């Protein structure tokens, strides 16, 4: 009997093999970049909807560079490294860079992304504890962003972690809300300060009745649990206008500014040297 062409001798389809091989290559490329410190933090403003000229805070987005200096898009590696030790290394680098920026720029309020899997990771915790020492106000200006999907992996651990770090003045943002599977009952336990609604719900919202209803519901949830509501992925004036009229607190997206590894305050500092 002829063997099915879609299955190789190991019982693995060519497609599965190709995906696994691609993942291995991505892991190798990112591991090399981490080892050689080809990492940068890009800063994107989160603006106040009622006054777009005013920044509520900035988000620090990790950028991984290949050997040529080209940015490797996060979508190409984050899902692969998320469950690996490599993901914890990236979290450590992002936190260290973010804390350094906060120390050097006392007017900066910054959010840094992390995975729930980094909670209890010894080196990550040491970086945080060391970063909070010696400089007043760093904790009060630091926001830790945890994705909805990551938070739901260990909700009880995340909730306890948040309670402990709140004593140091740190705030928390739930990132990508709506893209994962949040059990709404956990909102009482989590007490996030910021609710960041995933960009799929802001896209062409001025034309999409379904997204309009969902965004209004998300805003209602944010109000009920005393959270600042941020709409992510805003790329057009009409989207920004509709969201502002709805009452969303803050907006983030390319309509206002792209993430930059050389933000305005760094550029100003270089100009004075």
What are the residue boundaries of the structural domains of the chain, listed by start? 31-264
Residue with tokens 């860079």: 97
Residue 66 has pLDDT above 90, yes or no: no
Q: Model confidence over 88-99: pLDDT tens digits?
A: 999 999 999 999
Model pTM greater than 0.85?
A: yes
- The counts of H helices and E strands in the chain are 10, 9
* Cβ–Cβ under 8 Å, residues 109 and 90: no
pLDDT, position 5: 44
Exposed/middle/buried for residue 31 (C-beta within 10 Å: 0-12, 13-18, 19+): middle
Least confident of 37-51, 175-189, 202-216, 241-255: 175-189
In whole angstroms, give the CA distance from residue 46 to residue 181. Answer: 25
The confidence band for 241, taking pLDDT boundaries of 50, 70 and 90, is very high
Residue 14 has pLDDT above 70, yes or no: no
The confidence band for 135, taking pLDDT boundaries of 50, 70 and 90, is low
pLDDT, position 4: 46
Residue 1 has pLDDT above 60, yes or no: no
Q: Which of 234, 259, 260 is nearest to 249 (CA)?
A: 234
pLDDT, position 40: 93
Residue 73 has pLDDT above 80, yes or no: no
H/E segment holding residue 99: helix 85-104
Write out the CATH class of domain 31-264. Answer: alpha beta
Quote helix, strand, coil % in the chain, to nearest 5: 45, 20, 35
Average pLDDT over the chain reads 88
Residue 174 has pLDDT above 70, yes or no: yes
């Amino acid at each position: 009997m002829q063997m099915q062409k879609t299955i190789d001798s190991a019982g693995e389809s060519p497609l599965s093999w190709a995906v696994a091989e691609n993942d291995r290559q991505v892991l190798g490329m990112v591991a090399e970049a981490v080892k050689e410190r080809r990492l940068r933090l890009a800063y994107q403003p989160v603006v106040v909807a009622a006054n777009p000229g005013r920044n509520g805070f900035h988000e620090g987005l990790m950028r991984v560079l290949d050997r040529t200096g080209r940015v490797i898009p996060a979508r190409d590696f984050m899902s692969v490294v998320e469950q690996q030790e490599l993901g914890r290394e990236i979290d450590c680098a992002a936190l260290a860079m973010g804390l350094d920026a906060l120390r050097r720029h006392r007017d900066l309020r910054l959010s840094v992304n992390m995975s729930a899997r980094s909670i209890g990771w010894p080196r990550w915790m040491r970086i945080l504890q060391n970063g909070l020492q010696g400089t007043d106000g760093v904790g009060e200006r630091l926001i830790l962003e945890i994705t909805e999907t990551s938070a739901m992996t260990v909700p009880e651990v995340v909730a306890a972690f948040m309670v402990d770090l709140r004593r140091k003045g740190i705030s928390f943002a739930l990132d990508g809300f709506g893209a994962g599977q949040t059990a709404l009952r956990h909102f009482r336990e989590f007490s996030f300060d910021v609710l960041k609604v995933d960009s799929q719900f802001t896209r062409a919202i001025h034309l999409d009745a379904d997204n309009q209803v969902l965004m209004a519901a998300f805003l209602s949830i944010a109000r009920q649990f005393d959270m600042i509501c941020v709409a992510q992925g805003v790329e057009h004036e009409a989207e920004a206008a509709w969201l502002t009229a709805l009452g969303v607190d803050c907006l983030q997206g390319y309509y206002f500014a792209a993430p930059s590894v050389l933000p305005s305050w760094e550029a100003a500092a270089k100009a004075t040297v």
